[in-house]
Amino acid sequence: MKVLIALGGNAILKRGEKGTAEEQMTNVRATARHLVKLLEEGDRLAITHGNGPQVGDILLKNEFAKAILPPMPLDICGAESQGMIGYMLQQGLQDELYAAGLDLPVVTVVTRVLIDQSDPAFANPTKPIGPFYTYAEVPRLQQERGWKMVDDSGRGFRRVVPSPSPVEILEGKTVAELFESGTLVIAAGGGGIPVVRDNEGVVKGVEAVLDKDRTAALLAEVLGVEILLILTDVPQVYLDYNKPGQHAIEELTVQECKRLLEQGQFPAGSMGPKIESAVRFLESGGDRVIITSLEMAENALAGRAGTRIVR
């Protein structure tokens, strides 16, 4: 089967880790082992991934150095993170492929994703990014940098940026051709580098972040895969998550997803975008979405684990 894998941040860096290159490569190699098992089963894979911790570190390094070096805007930081994570995945995957006796090119494509400059998200930035600041620093940052700042769950103040909807994967045709020719292609990392096309037709980077699962749904459509496999830190989707009566779901239809989204069962910061992305992919002609953990990926593809979402 043709499968697009959407790797969560924890496939590359686990909570509580410092973020050293060694930690990340260790995690990536473990991730690669799971993915190579799927390849050994005969599945055809493409890979996309989150970039939260990595782009967070890049932003923080920019802030530390800003007295001397001009900080890079978010689109460029996103591009850096695609190079970094793509490279680590290439290394891990190619070694595990070699160990498994499989010979498959593994390639990362730097990927831009077009968004609509009139997307309503631009009027209402909601996505916190980068370092935490104290209340005292807020007015200066708002004035000097033009940032919108919010109190992030009482942990401090952070910049918020828009999280608009992906409209077109600009390198989509090439990614699809590579996938068709049998290349293990890594694309649209961190949801893609956000760009808009202005009224003169010029494509410009913007200060925004894209939700990686929403972009994954679009990429799955472009690639024509049957299955979108969203790997996260839980083995299944839950109803009443973290509440009394929490229980795992084996299967959901698009209609059930819509109803549960309306009921507010899936929070905006975590499961919500995954379920919305599942709906989008299935309504665009996709066959199946599976949400599970990396460890359960094989079993879930075989129908023995995870949460299946179908039309």
Instruction: Give, rounded to a whole angstrom, the gap between the first and last alpha carbons of the chain.
Output: 18
CB 25 within 8 A of CB 92: yes
Provide the minimum distance between the beta carbon of 76 and a second copy in the complex, in angstroms, as a whole number.
5
Three-state DSSP class for 48?
A: strand
Active-site annotation holds for 51: no
Active-site annotation holds for 14: no
Active-site annotation holds for 286: no
- Check 56, 189, 190, 274 and give the catalytic one: 274
Q: Count the neighbouring beta carbons within 10 Å of the beta carbon of residue 17.
A: 15
CA distance 169 to 112: 6
Provide the minimum distance between the beta carbon of 25 and a second copy in the complex, in angstroms, as a whole number.
8
Provide the minimum distance between the beta carbon of 195 and a second copy in the complex, in angstroms, as a whole number.
7
Active-site annotation holds for 127: yes
* Nearer Cβ to a second copy (8/194): 194
- Check 27, 86, 92, 127 and give the catalytic one: 127
Provide the minimum distance between the beta carbon of 84 and a second copy in the complex, in angstroms, as a whole number.
5
Provide the minimum distance between the beta carbon of 203 and a second copy in the complex, in angstroms, as a whole number.
6
Q: Which residues bind a second copy (CB under 8 A)?
A: 18-21, 57-58, 60-62, 64-65, 68-70, 72-73, 75-76, 79-84, 86-88, 90-91, 94-95, 98-99, 105, 107-110, 112, 170-171, 173-174, 177-178, 181, 183, 193, 195, 201-205
- Check 8, 10, 86, 92 and give the catalytic one: 10
Active-site annotation holds for 61: no
* Nearer Cβ to a second copy (75/298): 75
Query: What residue type is 122 in one-letter code?
Result: F
- Check 27, 130, 191, 212 and give the catalytic one: 212
CA distance 105 to 107: 6
* Nearer Cβ to a second copy (3/77): 77
What phi and psi, each to the nearest 5 degrees, are found at residue 237? Answer: -85, 140
* Nearer Cβ to a second copy (98/251): 98
Calculate helix-pair angle for 212-223, 172-180, nearest 10 degrees. Answer: 60
* Nearer Cβ to a second copy (87/135): 87
CA distance 297 to 32: 12
CB 28 within 8 A of CB 91: yes
- The 10 Å CB-count burial string (b at 16+, else e) for 111-141 is bbbbbeeebebbeebebbbbeebeeeebeee
Catalytic residues: 9-10, 127, 212, 274
